[in-house]
Structure 1
């Protein structure tokens, strides 16, 4: 084990400890006891894996910040709970070296939200407030995580029980610094995922030309592009910067973002797209609710993403101006007024 700096043990599945990362290289969920056999021998490797598995099921309040098992130093991943458990392990001889950055989180596909424990907040660009987990809309979270396979991730988020998903991404937590990370999602139910994101320094930090072009589009024009979940008509991932100051549903209250009259217009125009009869729809003069009051007026066009299952639509919005019309919907409205 002396030649291995840190191994990331995935302990989310009871009785099946696996490896997510070894020596800075992401692994495809290989057996933890097998990975430890060479440096420690089969008996000791099995003992360590079994002990870690038992630790993972312990209540969160009983999980120490660091501990040792048979000469192996164990450091829980920030945000580890009984449901989302992972730990960095290494020989005690490297106890002066901190493990790579990592965080645990959960995803609720019904609410389309990430749940980020306070101790995971720093890694994913959030400010820790108090001791309660933060609830983060997917569009907010994916603003600073540039996933290589965006569509694959979004589809895994929408149908959690289709199976595990692993991918790579570049993390940009609100500063010029960035890091290459690997993300592992595991179903915990028909509408939930447990996730671990961890630093993978061996992966090169790259930005494709298409990504650079999309991210700069909104800065040099008034065009904004977004991926939307057709089933719930909810923003999942911005491909450019979003229009600023918009009261997206769920960010401030439960009202829909468009003006109620425009909600009806949107559903009339988009109905053929939703049913699969048409691939594309366009609508001008949509009023989007602003946080400071009034409306941003946009023209929009959307098209179904080829092969997306469940269906996704990419929408392009062009900002045309603002309107000061009064808001006819009270703040406690539950959404889709008038439909």
Structure 2
């Protein structure tokens, strides 16, 4: 299976640069995975596509303001750090720009020394292990100094940090938002629950590997970055119950999908667990738990469009994307949504 099989032509101006003021006012393209039929709606109409007894699975990870801009102690050269993964003892795996200025031993000051990072090692793909020195609580300092790590295709400054956060974000640790969830408002979730739909929350801390392009021609040679996930027993029970009673499990976003598909046993059963996943879902994959997916529109040739194609078929997905381009849908993180039923 070739990377080029998942290419589509996207006009630059359809890449959404800013979130809509009304979260649930986005557009919603509904794709029937069996027939390939599409229809056009407003996001809040998603309620009409959910049935009592279904289980809606949300990823309640919280994006940390992981982008830090500081200066190299000794030369004052500007250095930018992106926090990727928390290790132990205040050490983080990071992406440093420019990397050549960040040899082991380099010290970087943020916020006039409120936070100091020391490069301790170089790991895979040139990422740096950085040990942080500070007084007080790391999260509070990060909140004060850090910026939201917006994807590379968003060039606008974000006015309100909370708009790159779902309304149900709870557990800090993501370097990117689970963007399909950005469309929900508390009112819409309440309406969904009132209709008799179970809402289960799982956690997957989204890594920047989400945006990592597939560079190899043969997609099977692509290596996924690992991401940490956790499922509590109460939430596993809700998902299992939907399956056992013949109802649907509907994931909000590819991250929720990767979580439950990674955690399920061979019979599609879930239990309380946590761990790291490198699951790569592409056409030919047999879903163990997921029935339907609510997701945004993804980058050409990305692992995410491959995942969506595994569920609805490559031809159906590319035809739906072509329709979305024609209808001027907004693409990527701050863009519109698609429901695959």
TM-score in terms of structure 1 length: 0.26
Structure holding more helix per residue: 2
Structure holding more strand per residue: 1
**Higher Cα Rg: structure 1 or 2?**
1
Highest RCO, 1 vs 2 (Cα 8 Å, sep ≥ 6): 2
